[in-house]
Chain A
Amino acid sequence: MTSIGTGYDLSVTTFSPDGRVFQVEYASKAVDNSGTVVGIRCKDGVVLGVEKLISSKMLLEGSNRRIHAVDRHAGMAMAGLASDGRQIVTKARGEASNYRSFYGEEVPIGELCDRVAHYAHLCTLYWWLRPFGSSAILGGYDRDGPQLYMIEPSGVAYRYFGAAVGKGRQAAKTEIEKLNLTDMTCRQGVIAVAKIIYGVHDEAKDKAFELEMSWICDESNREHQRVNPSSFLAPLSISSFHSTTYVAF
């Protein structure tokens, strides 16, 4: 599927003869090789989930967060290079805050997405910058209802009802498509996302992982909140999950 871009892939300001910018495509590789990140838009809100692969047993549970609040009414889950993702979140927070000061209202999620995408694209235009090696799944709840967007390293952004990136994205997308999102509440969505992430995790290749989740829905008063899915799991038996995994909140 991928071709070697010999000679045309040295700089982000070089096109290949068939019209591709290889550096931007390579940036997406960083995302494809990271832990799975999933987002779904339910009827009353948005749920985000991250498969946080643990590199060392010394890491404190709950550290190295991959989901960040951008504003009261929006949150972002990052896939790919963690530090690049952090920068995108910082930018998004700045834009959201700036919008609030200037226009007196919380930023509409679509507008926030546009601004972040614009910034990600900016970094693909100059040879002295490099593209971000991370995709952001942005979930928010504004006056037009709950919305889910994904911004890719190329600067492209679409609105989704279900999105997945990272290692297990193919399997995750298949699972998401089976869900009936229009009738699902976020309470049910949290369980669904948790199941999907546990399902796509590759026990053979990657050892331990932490599940990090958040939601933003009517029940959370339209505020971005972290969730601990085990507190929702009463009807399910915990033994159905692997013992080496941790559930973080």
Chain B
Amino acid sequence: MEPMASQWTEAPHSMGTTIMAVEYDGGVILGADSRTTTGVYVANRASDKITQLTDNVYLCRSGSAADSQVVSDYVRYFLNQHTIQLGRPSTVKTAGTLVKELSYQNKSFLETGLIVAGWDKYDGGSVYGIPLGGTMLRLPFATGGSGSSYLYGFLDQAWKPDMTHEEAEKLVVKSIALAIARDGASGGVVRTVTVNEQGVERKFHAGDKLPLFYEEIAPRPSPLRAH
């Protein structure tokens, strides 16, 4: 007789996830939800899926948590060496190329969809989408993870070029919130990171402060707090 809890204690950590990155006039904004699951159990409800690669380049991770962490560790290491050798910050394109090489050359072992985004002085803000197979595509905006399926139609209509920082941030938060509403594997809070010439800014958008959509019920004080 099998032990009952096997499925949700032994399943690998997966980040169901919704991730996205958007170019705006002067930089990029990366956004992600914060739910990490092992099967149906939420292993971490406040994870940080936006990882730093260099001072000016960040990475959104989705898919297998382990795979995406290992890839990001390798790329951070290579970029660090590269920056020292070159004597100047690496470009976003270089970061994307390294991520792409690892994803493509190890495609049979890895299961991770990544978005590389950042700012450099040659190309300004850039977003590179690197999905499962190891394609690399520079895009004005990119989405990934299981929750991204619910965003295609929305973004087709809502995205426009040359947005300001405020417009872009609103778009990112609304998109992730919409995905969280419909995708069981995405949830928690919305984290955003803005990267531009001036530097980096991290923001936190609390789960209970996110906009509500069709048929969603407003959060109530948690019974756990009642005493």
Contacts and interface: CB of A to CB of B under 8 A. Distances in A.
B188 to A, nearest CB: 34
Contacts of B85: 111, 114
Chain B binding surface SS class: helix
Nearest to A107: B86
B87 A110 contact: yes
A105 interface: yes
Nearest to B90: A103
B122 A103 contact: no
Given A103-B94, A104-B93, A143 B122 contact: yes
How many chain B residues sit at the interface, stated as a range, is 10 to 19
A102 interface: yes
A104 B94 contact: yes
B97 A104 contact: yes
Given A102-B97, A103-B97, A105-B94, A111 B122 contact: no
Contacts of B82: 103
Contacts of B93: 104-105
Contacts of B91: 105
B98 interface: yes
Nearest to B85: A111
B101 interface: yes
Which of A103, A105, A111, A143 gathers most chain B CB within 10 Å? A103
B86 A108 contact: yes
Interface in B4-41: none
A111 B96 CA distance: 20
A20 B84 CA distance: 31
Interface string A74-111: 00000000000000000000000000001111001011
B87 A105 contact: no
Contacts of B97: 102-105
Contacts of B86: 108, 110-111
Contacts of B101: 102
Contacts of A143: 122
B209 to A, nearest CB: 39
B81 to A, nearest CB: 11
A39 to B, nearest CB: 22
Contacts of A103: 82, 94, 97-98
Contacts of A102: 97-98, 101
Given A103-B94, A110-B87, A143-B122, 17 more contacts: A102-B97, A102-B98, A102-B101, A103-B98, A104-B94, A104-B96, A104-B97, A104-B98, A104-B100, A104-B136, A105-B91, A105-B93, A105-B97, A108-B86, A111-B85, A111-B86, A114-B85
15 contacts: A102-B97, A102-B98, A103-B82, A103-B94, A103-B97, A103-B98, A104-B94, A104-B96, A104-B98, A104-B100, A105-B94, A108-B86, A111-B85, A111-B86, A143-B122
Interface of B: 82, 85-87, 91, 93-94, 96-98, 100-101, 122, 136
